[in-house]
């Protein structure tokens, strides 16, 4: 309670006192916690011998995490004489209880022949156990073993399976390897678009070879529309990490670019910030500490296949630093134009996407079914897109503002900027606001229930008329009826998380 500040003022020193009392009474968890604190020097003076003492007490009671940590102390010779045989003993005890760290370290000991006879088959066995628990590093190690036939029968399909798992958990190397496999058709059916997808995810994390290969895909137009400015950007980024292939490509592509195009590519490269993907376990353990945190989030939706999208002006201002999270990863977005009066912002990202058609809101009737997909309260509800469905409750907004629909669609902070679509998936509005509970209480003495507003699409279409290069690319509205589920699947593909950074 003192350590977490639950029910008392947070006091780590007081917490340590009570951990000691519990540990001396034989409480294994308290003993493990004390071992961790002495090992890290957290609140107490760092003392590896004291850490070993408390780890051993908990380990002798069968506490698996303490067993694996005690094994690690023996393996490194911290607080105790280095003894790899003793390390293996404790790693095995922890591993046999399903402790992921113990399984991983036992696999390493077998792979290296430390404290035990080298045995690649046994190593692979333990790596598989921990990989099946979702560890990205061991998924990658297992993938490499299947790729090389080390400790297991060589199996390209199995290697791809584990590369994919590691890639999905944020491993940039696994993402790059998958991109390469799809580009060359190794163990998978060749698919340039899929290659670009994985190259992009690794490139966004700063992996230089992926940046170089992604640049090449843009330069030749494989998997993406040919775009030499974007290719130049990625070659510049890879070259900055001493990638020789990228350096050679820069010299070639600069001869074909105009001065303005070179300046644009250089500006895009300067604005790039690598963002490491956290695995699910890292996210839970660290709360994403060390990652750049957005100062605000909202929702947006794509209106052209080449990357123009819409959100609210109160989400993305004229001078905002905007990134959007799409199926292709996190992309830098440029603010093209804003309409403060109608709370609209036009953004642009590079790539090829699924776009939504716009329909005039003049034909929308009271009671019509509408829906939106967005990213409400990401810190609380998570990053998976959320569907909300309701009706047109009024053809005007607060105080009869004709620019807005009142909607019964339940929306929350983070839904702002999302597409309000009809039953055919046509955009008829842009989710914008909730009725202020404070204002409702002050005016009527009652709290408002599910009173929300969306900017009418007619105002969005008028806004886009000032951008003829965008208006010319808008999709024709959908006229065919589909199942609601199929319609929402399309809307989801066109919906992005908008993130604003300092």
Residues 190 and 161 reside in one and the same domain: no
* 354 domain residue, yes or no: yes
Residues 298 and 261 reside in one and the same domain: no
* 25 domain residue, yes or no: yes
Residues 302 and 402 reside in one and the same domain: yes
Residue 62 φ/ψ region, left for φ over 0, alpha for ψ in the -120 to 50 degree band, beta for the rest = left
Residues 356 and 400 reside in one and the same domain: yes
Residues 305 and 376 reside in one and the same domain: yes
Domain that holds residue 337: 294-502
Which of 256, 271, 286 is the C-terminal boundary of a domain?
271
Residues 301 and 398 reside in one and the same domain: yes
pLDDT for 124:
81
CATH number at residue 53: 1.25.40.10
* 89 domain residue, yes or no: yes
pLDDT for 5:
36
* 278 domain residue, yes or no: no
Residues 306 and 441 reside in one and the same domain: yes
**Pick from 119, 114, 178: nearest CA to 143:** 178
**Pick from 186, 472, 138, 447: nearest CA to 304:** 472
* 177 domain residue, yes or no: no
CATH number at residue 301: 2.40.10.120
Burial class (CB in 10 A: 0-12, 13-18, 19+), 364: buried
H-helix or E-strand spanning residue 296: strand 296-302
* 2 domain residue, yes or no: no
Other Cβ atoms less than 10 A from the Cβ of 148: the count is 12
Count: domains in the chain: 3
- Tokens, residue 75: 């393996």
pLDDT for 32:
84
* 276 domain residue, yes or no: no
The strand pairing partners of 392, in sequence order, are 407
Residue 394 φ/ψ region, left for φ over 0, alpha for ψ in the -120 to 50 degree band, beta for the rest = beta
Residues 84 and 200 reside in one and the same domain: no
Residues 161 and 192 reside in one and the same domain: no
- How would you write the pLDDT of the chain (502 residues) with one tens digit per residue? 334 433 334 445 666 676 788 778 888 877 888 888 888 887 788 999 998 999 999 899 988 888 989 999 999 999 999 999 999 999 999 888 878 788 888 888 988 999 999 988 888 888 888 777 655 566 888 888 888 888 889 999 988 998 988 888 788 999 999 999 999 999 999 999 999 999 999 999 999 999 999 999 999 999 999 999 999 999 999 999 999 999 999 999 999 999 999 999 999 999 898 887 765 444 433 344 344 557 788 999 999 998 999 999 999 988 788 888 876 667 778 899 999 999 999 999 877 888 999 999 998 999 999 999 999 887 667 677 899 999 999 998 888 899 999 999 988 888 999 999 999 999 999 999 876 545 444 455 554 567 889 999 999 999 999 898 899 999 999 998 899 999 999 999 999 999 887 5
Residues 460 and 315 reside in one and the same domain: yes
pLDDT for 449:
63
> Contact 292/501 with Cβ under 8 angstroms?
yes
* 439 domain residue, yes or no: yes
Which of 142, 168, 194 is the C-terminal boundary of a domain?
168
Residues 465 and 324 reside in one and the same domain: yes
pTM of the model: 0.49
Rounded distance between C-alpha atoms, residue 412 and residue 371, angstroms? 14
∠ CA 434-439-442 to the nearest 5 degrees? Answer: 150
Residues 255 and 300 reside in one and the same domain: no
């Amino acid at each position: 309670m003192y350590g977490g500040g639950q029910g008392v003022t947070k006091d780590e020193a007081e917490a340590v006192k009570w951990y000691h009392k519990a540990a001396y009474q034989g409480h294994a968890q308290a003993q493990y916690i004390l071992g961790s604190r002495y090992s890290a020097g957290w609140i107490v003076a760092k003392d590896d011998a004291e850490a070993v003492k408390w780890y051993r007490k908990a380990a002798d009671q069968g506490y698996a995490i303490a067993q694996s940590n005690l094994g690690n102390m023996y393996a490194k010779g911290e607080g105790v004489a280095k003894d790899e045989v003793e390390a293996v003993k404790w790693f095995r005890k922890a591993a046999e209880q399903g402790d992921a760290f113990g399984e991983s370290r036992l696999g390493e000991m077998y792979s290296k022949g430390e404290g035990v006879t080298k045995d690649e088959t046994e190593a692979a066995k333990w790596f598989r156990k921990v990989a099946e628990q979702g560890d990205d590093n061991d998924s990658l190690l297992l993938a490499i073993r299947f790729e090389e036939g080390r400790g297991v029968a060589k199996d390209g399909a199995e290697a791809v399976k584990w590369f994919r798992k590691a890639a999905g958990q944020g491993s940039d190397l696994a993402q790059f390897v998958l991109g390469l496999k799809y580009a060359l058709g190794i163990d998978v059916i060749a698919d340039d678009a899929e290659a670009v997808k994985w190259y992009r995810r690794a490139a966004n994390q700063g992996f230089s070879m992926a940046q170089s290969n992604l640049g090449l895909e843009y330069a030749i137009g494989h998997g993406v529309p040919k775009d030499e400015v974007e290719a130049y950007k990625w070659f510049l980024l890879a070259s900055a990490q001493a990638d020789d292939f990228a350096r050679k490509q820069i010299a070639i592509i600069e001869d074909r670019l105009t001065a303005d195009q070179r300046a644009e590519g250089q500006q895009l490269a300067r604005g790039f910030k690598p963002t490491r993907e956290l695995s699910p376990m890292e996210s839970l353990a660290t709360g994403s500490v060390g990652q750049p945190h957005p100062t605000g989030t909202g929702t947006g939706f794509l209106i052209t296949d080449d990357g123009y999208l819409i959100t609210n002006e109160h989400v993305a201002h004229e001078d905002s630093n905007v990134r959007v999270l799409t199926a292709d990863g996190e992309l830098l977005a440029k603010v093209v134009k804003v309409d403060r009066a109608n709370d609209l912002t036009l953004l642009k990202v590079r790539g090829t996407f699924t776009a939504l058609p716009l329909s005039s809101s003049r034909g929308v009737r009271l009671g019509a079914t509408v829906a939106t997909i967005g990213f409400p309260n990401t810190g609380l509800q998570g990053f998976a897109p959320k569907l909300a469905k309701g009706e047109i409750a009024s053809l005007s907004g607060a105080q009869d503002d004709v620019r807005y629909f009142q909607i019964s669609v339940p929306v929350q902070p983070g839904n702002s900027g999302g597409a309000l679509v009809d039953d055919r998936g046509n955009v008829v509005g842009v989710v914008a606001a909730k009725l202020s509970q404070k204002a409702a209480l002050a005016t009527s003495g009652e709290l408002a229930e599910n009173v929300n507003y969306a900017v009418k699409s007619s105002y969005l279409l008028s806004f886009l008329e000032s951008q003829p290069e965008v208006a010319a690319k808008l999709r024709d509205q959908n006229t065919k009826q589909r199942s609601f589920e199929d319609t929402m699947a399309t809307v989801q593909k066109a919906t992005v998380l908008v993130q604003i950074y300092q």
